[in-house]
Chains A and B, each alone.
Chain A
Amino acid sequence: SQQGEEDPQALSIQEGENATMNCSYKTSINNLQWYRQNSGRGLVHLILIRSNEREKHSGRLRVTLDTSKKSSSLLITASRAADTASYFCATDERDDKIIFGKGTRLHILP
């Protein structure tokens, strides 16, 4: 079963611009996570936001969560070439499982 759906599927922006990715999910959650995957590598955890939180920051990352709309967004400010990667949201399900979306492929243009 797939819980989170990222939007857009792919995004290309100029270096220095902000990148925004969205995630929508279907059922109620306890928390939502964002991960990054560089080409040919494993996923790296970026940030976790709990259902009672509305916004969270980590460096150039800002995550928002709207439980009434069942959606989250990941904002990367002042993008860099190193931000080129795929970004996944993951939502918790019962029994210690999380379900990953199919990801947004972000390409930062020089």
Chain B
Amino acid sequence: DAGVIQSPRHEVTEMGQEVTLRCKPISGHDYLFWYRQTMMRGLELLIYFNNNVPIDDSGMPEDRFSAKMPNASFSTLKIQPSEPRDSAVYFCASSSQGGDYEQYFGPGTRLTVT
């Protein structure tokens, strides 16, 4: 298996632009997680899905952030409009047994908003 796949790996955009991050989880994994990592705040859970259904989005910072999982093999995290404080590394992770078991992380997307 190729593991969790994220695209793009790097994204540089200007403030106000829409940003879409993509994730393909490991086949057969029913749980998908989106995290954001910054030096100041560490690794934060933004939202997670079980069987394509959003279960907990309490970590989504504000309405500018949205996430979808239209099918078991694809999820997106969208920021519209983007702001400089959104600059971070965004990780997608998947799990077969739930969030409190082993999670497999993708390589991350480094987002820079200027």
Contact = CB atoms under 8 A, between A and B. Distances in A.
Contacts of A60: none
Which 4 residue pairs are nearest across A and B when measured between Cβ atoms?
A42-B105, A92-B100, A96-B99, A102-B42
17 contacts: A2-B42, A42-B107, A43-B91, A43-B105, A45-B104, A48-B102, A88-B43, A92-B100, A96-B99, A96-B100, A97-B45, A97-B56, A97-B99, A98-B100, A99-B45, A100-B43, A103-B42
B99 A101 contact: no
Contact of A41 (B45, B48, B50, B107): B107
A47 B47 CA distance: 24
Contacts of B91: 42-43
Interface residues of A, number: 22
A21 to B, nearest CB: 15
Contacts, number: 55
A96 B31 contact: yes
Interface in B55-87: 55-56
A44 interface: yes
Contacts of B55: 95-96
A5 to B, nearest CB: 10
Interface string B83-114: 00000000101000011111111111000000
B4 interface: yes
Contacts of B31: 96
A31 interface: yes
Contacts of B106: 42
Contacts of A92: 99-100
